[in-house]
Amino acid sequence: MSRDYVLPKLAMAMNEGTIAEWLVEDGTRVERGDQLLTLETEKTAYEVEAPEAGFFKILVAAGETLDCGSVLGRFFDSADELASAGIQTDGQNQQQASASLPPSVDTYGLAANPDVRAYDSSAQRKRSSPLARKLAQLNDIDLHSVIGTGPKGRVVKRDIEKAVAVRRRPEPSALTAVASTSELLATIPISGMRKTVGAKMMESLQTSAQLSSFWEANLTPLMAARAELVAKEEELGARVSMNALLIKAMLYGIRRVPLANSCVIGDAIEIYKDVHVGFAVSVPGKTQFDSGLIVPVIRNANQYGLIELNEKIKETVIRAKAGECTQDDLVGSTITFSTTAGLAPPGHRSTPILNLPNAMLIGPSTPIERPWNVNGEVKLQTILPISVTFDHRVLDGDPAVRFMSAMNEAIENPALLLSV
């Protein structure tokens, strides 16, 4: 007797996953609870346990990206059953295995639902996943010209990405020229987290009206206030970070200009009462040449006092760098905070890309010492460059500048942060 093992849906926002690595040998016996595979979904990696015991046949190679519900392997009760099955582990067999799912289950492995089912092959539209249709529309790709590699010939995300790559590929002569004149140091597959980050950045640039503005804030007063808080570390039970203070200043700006805390959802602008801060965290990659970026969410940041917010930030960063964030931890932000302080050279400025659907991203950089006019007297002060990228569909120049002015006011007058 055999049972199909399908790609599990590990979070509400998960539609597909990439098999990063099989953790068992093909054809060997596994026990329930054994580590079966590493699965990458969006920006999170999971080690998935075997849901049952049996001799396990791998049907899909590592590196493949498939929809939830797609068959990845098969459990057999005995080695003899496995041997007699004569299964081929190619793409055709995987599609055939998917076809064996009960008719009451769609290609996502969920109960039949017209909102998530693929289009029927008898319809005018080609069978495709919702994400594939969206990417095809964004990139002006005709779905009928794309060969589907998903279950039952369904067009999935990777098929559209391949079509886009082929269209943009340089002429062979250019590729040959590069290969013949430069020694290859390393080759990094654009897959997993790197692929997800790239796709999201491209989608963000192509679907929103982004504009970046810059200003310089005198950080010296806030640094002095932080030094006083650090001196009380034992009394407060926490060492207050500059990021906590800057997010408090951002919250002050949102109180003055609530439109900054909004998202574009469909054809509407949604402005939110509570502030769910997407906190960008850089995480190490698999080699010295790559890295990743995830944006876990600090929910209801506006409801925390300074010390509570400081601890939430600390916990969020620790969990993100340890790879403990789930898919649900990475969705639902209303504004993004992405700092390069300490990483970038002093005075660095950038044009951050929006974290959709957020309408604004705040990007403080590395401070630099500079002469500054303080009440008519020139003094050496610590100056913080800050980038703000916003969606011009949501904010025009006036509210964006008023937000920046309010945040600047809080940075240069730390007493205001106590009112947030």
Tens digits of residue pLDDT in 165-197: 877 665 555 555 555 566 777 777 776 677 778
Given this model, what pLDDT does residue 62 score?
85
Neighbour count for residue 57 (Cβ, 10 Å): 20
Between 95 and 118, whose confidence is greater?
Answer: 95
Where would I find the beta strands (DSSP E) of 266-374?
268-271, 277-279, 281-284, 291-294, 297-298, 335-337, 360-364, 368-374
* DSSP element (H, E) containing 385: strand 377-391
Sign, Cα dihedral of 138, 142, 145, 146: positive
Domain with residues 2-99, CATH architecture: Beta Barrel (2.40)
Q: For the chain, what percent of residues have pLDDT higher than 90? A: 50
pLDDT at 268 over 90: yes
Residue 114's identity, in one-letter code, is: P
Given this model, what pLDDT does residue 380 score?
96
Distance CA 19, CA 285 (A): 16
pLDDT tens figures, 290-311: 777 899 999 999 999 999 999 9
Domain 193-419 adopts which CATH fold?
A: Chloramphenicol Acetyltransferase (3.30.559)
Length of the chain: 420
pLDDT tens figures, 327-349: 889 999 999 999 998 888 998 98
Domain with CATH 3.30.559.10 in the chain: 193-419
Given this model, what pLDDT does residue 221 score?
97
Given this model, what pLDDT does residue 254 score?
98
Between 332 and 138, whose confidence is greater?
Answer: 332
Residue 131's identity, in one-letter code, is: L
Q: For the chain, what percent of residues have pLDDT higher than 70? A: 83
pLDDT tens figures, 64-78: 888 889 999 999 999
User: For residue 347, what are the CA distances in angstroms to 53, 196, 222?
Assistant: 58, 30, 18
Given this model, what pLDDT does residue 88 score?
55
Between 201 and 153, whose confidence is greater?
Answer: 201
User: Could you tell me where the DSSP H helices lie in 211-279?
Assistant: 220-231, 233-236, 242-256
Given this model, what pLDDT does residue 103 score?
36
Measured in whole angstroms, the distance separating CA 157 from the mean position of its chain's CA atoms is 16
User: Could you tell me where the DSSP H helices lie in 75-154?
Assistant: 79-85, 91-99, 130-138
pLDDT at 107 over 50: no
Domain with CATH 2.40.50.100 in the chain: 2-99
Given this model, what pLDDT does residue 308 score?
97
Residue 152's identity, in one-letter code, is: K
Count CA atoms within 13 Å of residue 15 on its CB side.
13
Between 162 and 242, whose confidence is greater?
Answer: 242
Given this model, what pLDDT does residue 96 score?
38
pLDDT at 35 over 60: yes
pLDDT at 100 over 70: no
Beta strand 335-337 with 360-364 is parallel
Average confidence (pLDDT) over 45-54: 88
Confidence tier at 216 by pLDDT (50, 70, 90): very high
Q: Which two tokens stand for residue 98?
A: 């998917």
Beta strand 297-298 with 291-294 is unpaired
Average confidence (pLDDT) over 236-255: 97
Q: Which two tokens stand for residue 391?
A: 């969606």
- Average pLDDT of the chain to the nearest whole number: 83
- Long-range Cβ contact pairs of 305-312 (< 8 A, separation 24 or more): 306/240, 306/244, 306/245, 306/248, 306/417, 306/418, 307/236, 307/237, 307/238, 307/240, 309/244, 309/247, 309/248, 310/238, 310/239, 310/240, 310/241, 310/244, 311/238
Average confidence (pLDDT) over 242-256: 98
